[in-house]
Amino acid sequence: MDQQRSLPVPEGLSGARVDVGVARLLGLSRTFATTIVEQGGVSVDGVIVGKSDRLHANSWLTVAWQTPRVLSVESVVIPGMNIIHDDEDIVVVDKPAGVAAHPSLGWTGPTVVGGLAAAGFRISTSGAAERQGVVHRLDAGTSGLMVVAKSERAYTELKRQFHDREVTKIYHTVVQGHPDPLRGTIDAPVGRHPHSEWRFAVTADGRHAVTHYETVEAFVGASLLEIHLETGRTHQIRVHMAAQRHPCVGDLMYGADPVLAERLSVTRQWLHARELTLRHPGSGEWVSFHSEYPGDLANALTMLRNGS
């Protein structure tokens, strides 16, 4: 821990939750304050406390934490990143593959946040410095629709909608083989892979994850599926389909056949965020957005339809 503060609890915070009090006293975000508490960095009168414990006036609060690494946002114009919609509250982006949502450790490529900055968009200042305005994410190798908050009210409202599962996200993916049944639900927890830092897996101690799928079209050795996500875990679709032994075509990280991927000229997972429906944070009206398949996915689909 490279920072530590010790101070008395003021009368105004008597009875407040520990995470709330830490955030207010030190000017930290609620999320970061909660992380500090969960890592055992907060004590009251020398006793380590939990986030839901309550503070008492005049007790002595000690907080120790590691300064998070600040990731810079590089402003780079991104070819192929189309703006689907733009108003004072939100901007909806059609993200190409090879672009991450925001900077992160281990990623040195272009980002949606950087691309919007380069294009002159003003986005919400809410959220961590490197991902301000980002209310949900797509994997770098996944193309399709993302909404980014421009106003502070949009950020707060969209985060709530995603948290409460009010946003409808529809993906299309081409998987190997033919799922049986052709329509179904995969309810299996997703967590970190026990032997790989960058992969995820269905694990007993993972987070609750539910994926609904329906076969749209079947080909020789592959199927086009429509996916409705009930939850939004990292790599959820990829992990769930691989666990059913139907990995996304081209998804070599999760066991896809490299020969099939090469034959179809697919160099990433065949996975596309096709539709996005949400309640507009300004007007309150429901709005929907649609994205066409990018060239690499459309070409692979044509080859499958032609029986190549």
Candidates 227, 171, 238; CA nearest to 202 is 238
> Same domain, yes or no, for 184 and 279?
yes
- CATH number of the structural domain spanning residue 26: 3.10.290.10
On whether residue 156 sits in a domain, the answer given is no
Do 260 and 303 lie in a common domain? yes
The domain total for the chain is 3
What pLDDT, on the 0 to 100 scale, is given for residue 257? 92
pTM: 0.73
Asked if 206 and 292 sit in the same domain, the reply is: yes
**Is residue 170 domain-shared with residue 43, that is, in the same domain?**
no
Q: Which residues are catalytic?
A: 139
| Whole-number Å distance between alpha carbons of 270 and 300 | 9
148 located within any domain: no
Residue 154 lies in a domain: no
Rg (CA), the chain: 22
Q: For residue 98, is it within any domain?
A: yes
85, 170: one domain: no
CATH number for the domain spanning 263: value is 3.30.2350.10
61 and 75 share one domain: no
User: Does residue 130 sit in the same domain as residue 220?
Assistant: no
Q: Is residue 249 part of a domain?
A: yes
The 8 Å CB, 24+ separation contacts for 187-192 are: 188/240, 188/243, 190/233, 190/234, 190/235, 190/236, 190/239, 190/240
Same domain, 59 and 78: no
107 and 129 share one domain: yes
- Dihedral pair phi/psi, residue 154, rounded to 5°: -65, -45
Task: Note whether residue 149 is domain-resident.
Answer: no
Query: Which run of H or E residues covers position 32?
Result: helix 30-38
Residues 127 and 198 in one domain: no
Domain-ending residue, one of 82, 109, 143:
143
pLDDT, averaged per 10 consecutive residues of the chain (308 residues), comes to 78 86 73 84 92 90 71 56 91 92 76 87 76 88 94 93 91 97 95 81 92 95 95 93 96 91 94 94 92 96 91
**Residue-level pLDDT at 126:** 75
**301 and 174 fall within a common domain:** yes
Residues 120 and 137: beta-carbon distance below 8 Å? no
Range of the domain at 277: 165-307
Strand-pair partners of 144: 95, 273
Predicted pLDDT at 27: 64
> Residue 158: inside a domain, yes or no?
no
Domain termination site, one of 21, 50, 65: 65
Does 186 lie in the same domain as 61?
no
CA distance 14 to 58: 9
Secondary structure (3-state) at 168: strand
Q: Which of these three, 31, 47, 65, is where a domain ends?
A: 65
Residue with tokens 């709005």: 287
- CA 127 from centroid of its chain's CA atoms: 13
d(CA 71, CA 31): 17
pLDDT of residue 69: 47
Specify if 232 maps to a domain: yes
Q: Are 13 and 22 in contact (CB under 8 A)?
A: no
